[in-house]
Amino acid sequence: MTYSIIDDARVILAGHTNGESSLLAMLEEVQGRHRYLPRDVLILISERLDIPLSQVYSVATFYNAFSLEPKGCHRFQVCTGTACHVRGAMQVLDRLETQLGIQAGQTSADLEYTLETVNCLGACALGPVVVANGSYSRHMTASQVDRLLRRIKRDA
């Protein structure tokens, strides 16, 4: 028998106390392990905490850190806020789309890469900004995208 996400979720949930106050911690741990929140796990959490599934979904969809769809091992976020946009964010985004073979908002079929846009990263003076796997790259240009991707592939 194979070990599933549900089995793993049961182990995660066993490490938390019952009660509504554990909801965020449970969601964070599942998201951290699996890069998304599967529907079956949300149902399991709802049952374990004895709270309505709609409440679990409400929390899971309120915070941008959570996703109901699988994310790639490598996550790229391109700031497209005004300051980054006027400094060339769209060219950076175009280059990432071309190199990764996916559009903004998509995850590659092999679950290696996710490409997202964000409205603002709060680093306007450093724009255009790309966050790759949690690390900020500032003053990005389309030509720097290639170096960023090489570094990420090398370090993987």
The model's confidence at residue 2, banded by pLDDT at 50, 70 and 90, is very low
Residue-wise pLDDT tens digits, 101-137: 999 999 999 999 999 999 998 899 999 999 999 899 9
Q: Is 79 within 8 Å of 89 (Cβ atoms)?
A: yes
- 106-107 vs 74-79, strand pairing mode: unpaired
The model's confidence at residue 155, banded by pLDDT at 50, 70 and 90, is confident
The pLDDT value recorded for residue 3 is 55
Burial of 28 (0-12, 13-18, 19+ CB in 10 A): middle
Domains of the chain: 5-62 (no CATH), 74-155 (3.40.30.10)
Amino acid letter for position 120: C
Residue-wise pLDDT tens digits, 20-79: 778 988 899 999 888 999 999 999 999 989 899 999 999 999 987 899 999 999 999 999
**Global confidence as pTM:** 0.78
The model's confidence at residue 5, banded by pLDDT at 50, 70 and 90, is confident
The pLDDT value recorded for residue 1 is 39
> Around 39, how many Cα atoms within 13 Å sit in the side-chain half-sphere?
0
**Helix (H, G, I), strand (E, B), or coil: what is residue 64?**
coil
The pLDDT value recorded for residue 21 is 75
